[in-house]
Amino acid sequence: EFPVYEKTKIQRFRGKYFQDLEIKDKQEFWKYQFAIKYLPSADEDVIGNIFDRINRNVIKLTPQELRHAKFSGDFITLAEDLCTWMFDFLGKKSKNFPNLNSTSKKQMKDIEMVAQLLLLLEEDAKSYSPDYLDKAFTERDSEWEEKDEIENEFRNTIESIGKILDLSKEVNLAKSRLKNQADFYSLFGAVAELSREGTLKIDKNTGSKIYEFLEVVQNKELHSKSKYELDNYQKKALDYYKAVKYSFTDVGPRKIRIGIVKSLLKGDIHSEQSYNV
């Protein structure tokens, strides 16, 4: 019905109708595979935003943006609500903590982060691939029995982290590497597990212990040393560093980091001196 655009890059197609194309070109057209996403949303703002993004930027939508358009049940609603609450609550302690840039937030990666924290509370640490997260959202969309319990635990955990920040203003813990998602995830998991066990103790020294440990973690001289040259505290710092640097989203490294932070908070590992490795 319409001819090919006169300024199309392929000159031989310019101004031609489909019926005028060579047989091989028609065959190539019919063999072309389109990527289709079904979005059962009647929200004009959502639909308009998606097409505006595609038409202006030609940037592929993130998995979480697609979930936002697709789901509307308990899990995604709570993840979005708690995302707003968490960043507002912690933002009063320190701006943009944990750290996500504006682009990431526009792409809803902050909501995806909160969703992973909720799943951490419900299922323990896992490696959350896009397909796994899609499945998790689907399974909890129409009904989520653990919703109230997980929400309460999430809020309590964030409030405990807020307390740690309040009691450690002298070291500005929120500006340390703890602001990074992997490190924040580790602290969140450790605090949640200790709370469940009834062994979480937060005092004015808690933040300093975390800060000092993370300073050793990022000491570059430590990274090149053999474990035989290190004491137990330094070994744990090196283990933590490796669990962040290599495949930090895999389940193994995540559990290692959470376990180390738990031991640190419990006092099972501690520094007996100031390290300049």
What is the count of structural domains for the chain?
1
Joined together, the tokens standing for residue 174 give: 């929120």
Residue 90 belongs to some domain of the structure: yes
Residue 102 belongs to some domain of the structure: yes
Residue 44 belongs to some domain of the structure: no
Question: Which pTM does this prediction carry?
Answer: 0.78
- Domain residue limits at 130: 71-266
Asked if 189 and 180 touch (Cβ cutoff 8 Å), the reply is: no
Residue 19 belongs to some domain of the structure: no
Residue 139 belongs to some domain of the structure: yes
Q: Per-residue pLDDT tens, the chain, 277 aa: give them.
A: 688 888 888 888 888 888 888 999 888 888 888 777 666 666 676 666 666 655 555 567 788 988 887 888 999 999 999 999 999 999 999 888 999 998 899 889 999 999 999 999 999 999 889 999 999 999 999 899 999 999 999 999 999 999 999 999 889 898 999 999 999 999 999 999 999 999 999 999 999 999 999 999 999 988 888 888 899 999 999 999 999 987 767 899 999 999 999 999 999 987 765 444 4
Residue 13 belongs to some domain of the structure: no
Rounded-to-integer distance, Cα 243 and Cα 189, Å: 15
Residue 153 belongs to some domain of the structure: yes
Residue 155 belongs to some domain of the structure: yes
Rounded-to-integer distance, Cα 254 and Cα 227, Å: 21
